[in-house]
Amino acid sequence: MKPTDEHSFLYGIQPVSEALNSDPCLVKKILVCGGKNNPKLAWILEESRKKGIAVSEMEKKNLEKDFGILYHQGVIGLISAFQYISIEDLVQQAFQKTPAPAIALLDGITDPGNLGGVIRSAEALGLQGIVIPKNRSASISPAVYKRSAGSVYHIPISRVTNLSQTIEYLKKEGFWIIGADAGTGAPAWDRDMKGPVAVILGSEDKGLRRLTSKSCDFSISIPMEGKTKSLNVASAAAIIFYEINRQRKRLR
């Protein structure tokens, strides 16, 4: 089965559990293998029964053949396709939560694992939203659901046609635009990020595009102390998001 504009699926105990917790209306059906003999699936089966969601038992080999995945932990959820929100709604919701929101803009992150990792860190560390472009970017997919451990259900995500126009819109709404740039940026902890900020993270191999970099108000970096010269984007994002959260906690 391949995801479409109307339907998708997620796999693994944590992503399926998060979907049932956050918005059970999204879940259309649960597929399990070895469900009756797997105590880790007990909560999913019971919750599905309570909410009237159909559960079907499948043989492991058929589950893997039909969905093309091996690490499913014995459960797959058939769901409605992910619903992105508009950038306008994302900004409005962000300011309703806090006078100084922090969001992340992802510029050309094509690896689903990295996208899922960034989303998980952003939600866990208190960011108010994620923005991804429609082109040259991974979208929300079964692999992203899995890698994010279901965090996609707890943070607003917008998908935009033109990232440059989105940056200009965010500036007008009062955001400082910060570029994560390993080459030229000042250490993240030396910059004031306590106001409304939008952090741009570039692609895994090329970093920020030149046009995007020129739109930033300033750049930040994470100094490397060892022989390793860089971090992947998901690891770097977690450190930057933590620093943003740390600065804000000092104000409380």
pLDDT tens track for 154-213: 999 999 999 999 999 999 999 999 999 877 789 999 999 999 999 999 987 777 888 888
23 has pLDDT over 80: no
pLDDT at 33: 86
Residue predicted with more confidence, 72 or 102 = 102
**Residue 157 DSSP symbol:** E
Ranges of H-type helices in the chain: 13-22, 42-50, 60-67, 87-97, 112-124, 142-147, 163-172, 210-214, 233-249
Supply φ then ψ for residue 56, to 5 degrees.
Answer: -125, 140
The CA-based angle 81-2-87, given to 5 degrees, is 30
Which tokens go with 81? 């396709």
Residue 210 makes CB contacts below 8 A (sequence gap 6+) with none
The CA-based angle 187-137-220, given to 5 degrees, is 10
Strongest mean pLDDT among 8-17, 25-34, 94-103, 205-214: 94-103
pLDDT at 40: 80
Q: Given pLDDT bands bounded at 50, 70 and 90, which one contains residue 3?
A: low
Q: Given pLDDT bands bounded at 50, 70 and 90, which one contains residue 132?
A: very high
What's the mean per-residue pLDDT of the chain? Answer: 90
Q: Given pLDDT bands bounded at 50, 70 and 90, which one contains residue 84?
A: very high
| Percent with pLDDT over 70 in the chain | 95
- Which range (7-21, 32-46, 133-147, 232-246) has the least confidence? 32-46
pLDDT at 136: 87
Burial of 88 (0-12, 13-18, 19+ CB in 10 A): exposed
- How far apart, in Å, are the Cα atoms of 88 and each of 32, 134, 156, 200? 39, 16, 11, 18
Beta bridge partners of 143: none
Largest alpha-carbon pair distance within the chain? Answer: 57
Q: Given pLDDT bands bounded at 50, 70 and 90, which one contains residue 231?
A: confident
Residue predicted with more confidence, 90 or 184 = 90
Residue 51 makes CB contacts below 8 A (sequence gap 6+) with 20, 24, 27
Residue predicted with more confidence, 223 or 5 = 223
Q: Given pLDDT bands bounded at 50, 70 and 90, which one contains residue 4?
A: low
Closest by Cα among 87, 155, 86, 165 to 126: 155
101 has pLDDT over 80: yes
Q: Given pLDDT bands bounded at 50, 70 and 90, which one contains residue 250?
A: confident
Beta bridge partners of 78: 9, 29
Q: Given pLDDT bands bounded at 50, 70 and 90, which one contains residue 31?
A: very high
Give the torsion through C-alpha atoms of 84, 90, 96, 101, to 10 deg.
Answer: 120
